Structure 1
């Protein structure tokens, strides 16, 4: 695995404190800060800018996303990249060397997205500009009359914004840069859900007006409600209707019939860039495919052993069929699934203090996935404040998978990690608010692994559920590279997942469509997890009796979302210093078992 995880150019850019000068601040620091502070202020004024698939909100307007403005972004980030070339990294203080490594990778990915004109394909089977619109509009953060007025202004801007996206997608169609036709079936459901509304008050975009601030004069509130209804019925709903017509009559018929990212214009370079962005490692697809096959074989042996522990007498294929069809493994109602999920989360709560010295103050809610996106949405997704659980089609949501899913998406996975990042002080905004998939998803998968040490998997079936989730992520290395590099068909990918995991047919189909339409992202989970596990084993062996698992976990979380080579260098520091407890410099609280 050492060769597979060789360091990229980041290693040259980041010597961290191991060989850095001891000064606290430098002239190079000041120049570097000026670059990233100015760029971040500019970037924060743009909506629709993606960072590892995550759109950045804009509180003042819906931004222009047309080709002319995309060229301006390209020019701007090219200038920033050139300015970064002028920084002597060795002259930066240790702290800024870390910031430089993270920031440069961020800029390189943003610049590459512009060069490949990814804005001409502004959706995939997982997310889309129209389904992310509520987030971009920030309808949940309205406090004053002015906030509501700005929100209504943005509602009125939706037709122009959508038209620009349509124009961009037309340009993508013209050069064969599109989402594959094979995964577009049913993708228009979320568009139709809005376009077919007759009553504007039934729209989710009207929800902020259902309960206005108590201190707002009634006349102002009534006026704002009327203006919102007019904007939704007169602007927003027709914009969705126009998008639906384009999607059904033009986009789907003309979308490409190939699946591989490498089949698109400049596809080999594009796929390689996606690998770099999502894994932070400069690996070729064949190497990743080989790692995936090795992990699949290793995990399969563990799954067979666990199957035998259940007492099942049939074949492995028979066992998978048993798990997918026996009613004992499935909730009868959405509430039952949510309650079982909450029970797992509460069991985890009791163990966190043994694994972490620091815990975040923020808590998360368990919320069902919205009905309009649930049919094609993933099983669950965690944020700092919300853990979304998909209660659609209960026979496709096995209960034995819920412990692993909950560990990954809530605590100690995404909800804990993101809350910790938000509560840190001293890091630039581009780090605190950034998300690097290899780190974040690697941590989520590592959190599933921690379930073994925390005693969360109570039965052989739950243990098998954990292993099938491990297998799922290993399969992603095989399937993603199979589709985008080796020319696999959709059915080949589905068959491989079906033969090797206990995921339901719906989950497998949704996941494969996601990999097809979002090249490279699926690679981040397993590669990130293997790197974190490798670093833990390295620290355990080097420190021996001085190794404290809480200090290790706190160190990994303290540095925040960083490229994997930067994380490795931080763990090397941790080892060289004897495994000390890190100083978070945050408002996060001590774990119950943490030092006082």
Structure 2
């Protein structure tokens, strides 16, 4: 059963920074590998390459590693996040914008015209983040600057240098926290904080670092528990002693200071409103976030209407699936049955993890039928760490990892696990992100950057694709997929409702409760995530719609020549790009007769 996904008249307004309209990139005959031979570079190409290469190298030192960065090197120093450093960043990115304005896009090679569109959109986002001072609220509903640092302790350490850099990083935490607290105080003074309701319990993740009986029990000591055999024993002992001292003298005192600030000042004084419109310059801020996360020029009202229409269409499919399951009650009764019947829930964390692994391996067996060029990297399946699990999503994936949340098992239905696994592991995030990083034909700013509309759109498309791949074995599992589709379509309604239309937290929760099979615990954590992270939730369904619309266009134009493997390779080969750039790539795919970027693998 299919449903309409066309954006209709709204398609005329999709444009990225650096494009005059959505068709400007489509007219370009970009080379199949989307790379440019340096020998053939024009003066404009050389100028552009120097701009993005210099800025990208500089950019790598501006941010701390986070859970989604995929970064593997352990640095000796945390970044400077002071107000003065933030002003320098704004000046830098504005100067890059001016430099890009001095380049005639038409004089670039076809491949660099695409690179230009992607890069200019990246810089526009960075400029807006600095102008709105996003650094003054360095946390959202489930991530934070202190939590990201704890995440470094879960990385793989392989050399003595890694350990020495890590110890230096631990010793740098007091300075780093002081700068973050100063930024948060500035945000607090102007009412630019996450909503107070989303900060409940967030101090627990800080107190857990403090409430230990000895440094060796700290999460920050974890890398020293099992050290590589190639490091001499005497050196191991010295490094462990230095780590204990750094945790005792730097890490714990910095967390105590942060905890006092959170409990005494920040949480009590946080923004009472849940709406982005109530933040300083809130309407412009929310529109900027819509553009950042969707790469589209859509208004909140347009997105809200798309969401309502899609919710209605998906609901009809859910009713049919309920009939397929031979359930004779009402829709609310069916949702209650799914939320409460023990057959749909794992009894132990290990059972949930093993089922996720089984689904991932099942896809492995058919991967080559759907994607021609597969990534070299593999991924592990692990539980979400206990200290963040209560506030974390049901699962999250990326390079090398698929995290499954085993906290509160009655909120983790097994019938939704196939869709979750396709999204977060393969062929979703654990495929898309490594394929971009492994594509050496792309410049680094495309290999290692993540645009939510593309990345989340692809992952959500993978859930939908599971129907064609035969991954849903029962009507309940298909309902789980539809519930996830409904969840993302409902986000278009809920996010815009909260941030621009005066919706209450309770109304948003009730909307998800009435329209999806999500457990109430997950509904609460999800709504708080949307409240604290304006616009991000919009990227998923709008991204999926764009990919499905591109596919439908290609199927219609190519007819019998359409090759699903070639189409998926064309989508994945671009790296993470704004949706109009992806539209242009598929236009070229059609013009070239449906030949993919890796024809020998088709």
Give yes or no for TM over 0.5: yes
Task: State how 1:305-454 maps to structure 2 within 5 Å.
Answer: 305-454=320-469
Name the residue aligned to 2:8: 2
After TM superposition, give the deviation of residue 205 of structure 1 in Å.
Answer: 1.3
SS of structure 2 residue aligned to 1:336: helix
Aligned length: 585
Name the residue aligned to 1:18: 27
Cα distance in 2 for partners of 1:398, 1:278 equals 28
Cα distance in 1 for partners of 2:24, 2:171 equals 50
Comparing 347-356 with 449-458, which one deviates more in the overlay?
347-356
Q: Unaligned regions of 5+ residues in structure 1, if any?
A: 585-589
Change (3 A) 1:234 1:467: same
Change (3 A) 1:55 1:342: closer
Q: Is residue 276 from structure 1 mapped to residue 284 from structure 2 by the alignment?
A: no
Task: State how 1:117-132 maps to structure 2 within 5 Å.
Answer: 117-132=133-148
SS of structure 1 residue aligned to 2:8: coil
Q: Is residue 83 from structure 1 mapped to residue 99 from structure 2 by the alignment?
A: yes
- Decide which of 57, 60, 68 is 2:76's aligned counterpart: 60
Cα distance in 2 for partners of 1:366, 1:270 equals 37
Name the residue aligned to 2:569: 554
Q: Is residue 115 from structure 1 mapped to residue 131 from structure 2 by the alignment?
A: yes
Task: State how 1:198-237 maps to structure 2 within 5 Å.
Answer: 198-237=213-252
Task: State how 1:487-526 maps to structure 2 within 5 Å.
Answer: 487-526=502-541
Name the residue aligned to 2:149: 133
Cα distance in 1 for partners of 2:524, 2:54 equals 43
Q: Unaligned regions of 5+ residues in structure 2, if any?
A: 1-6
Q: 2:424–2:430: 8 Å Cα contact kept in structure 1?
A: yes
Q: 1:67–1:168: 8 Å Cα contact kept in structure 2?
A: yes
Comparing 419-428 with 21-30, which one deviates more in the overlay?
21-30
Task: State how 1:254-293 maps to structure 2 within 5 Å.
Answer: 254-293=269-308
Q: Is residue 577 from structure 1 mapped to residue 592 from structure 2 by the alignment?
A: yes
After TM superposition, give the deviation of residue 138 of structure 1 in Å.
Answer: 6.8
Give the TM-score normalised by structure 1: 0.95
Q: 1:48–1:65: 8 Å Cα contact kept in structure 2?
A: no
Question: For 1:555-596, what per-residue CA distance to the aligned partner results, in whole angstroms no more than 9, with x for missing partners?
Answer: 000111000000000000000010002149xxxxx8xxx44x
Cα distance in 1 for partners of 2:467, 2:551 equals 15
CA RMSD between the two structures? 1.9
Give the TM-score normalised by structure 2: 0.94
Cα distance in 1 for partners of 2:316, 2:331 equals 11
Name the residue aligned to 2:184: 169
Name the residue aligned to 2:4: none
After TM superposition, give the deviation of residue 257 of structure 1 in Å.
Answer: 0.6
Q: 2:76–2:164: 8 Å Cα contact kept in structure 1?
A: no
SS of structure 1 residue aligned to 2:103: coil
Cα distance in 1 for partners of 2:190, 2:64 equals 22
Question: For 1:377-421, what per-residue CA distance to the aligned partner results, in whole angstroms no more than 9, with x for missing partners?
Answer: 000001121100000000000100001000101111110111211
Change (3 A) 1:20 1:386: closer
Q: 1:275–1:281: 8 Å Cα contact kept in structure 2?
A: yes
After TM superposition, give the deviation of residue 3 of structure 1 in Å.
Answer: 2.4
Cα distance in 2 for partners of 1:369, 1:305 equals 34
After TM superposition, give the deviation of residue 142 of structure 1 in Å.
Answer: 3.1
- Decide which of 40, 45, 48 is 2:61's aligned counterpart: 45
SS of structure 2 residue aligned to 1:12: coil
Cα distance in 2 for partners of 1:296, 1:581 equals 34
Q: 2:372–2:598: 8 Å Cα contact kept in structure 1?
A: no
Name the residue aligned to 1:35: 51
Comparing 560-569 with 24-33, which one deviates more in the overlay?
24-33
Cα distance in 2 for partners of 1:73, 1:35 equals 15
Cα distance in 2 for partners of 1:82, 1:461 equals 54
Name the residue aligned to 1:587: none
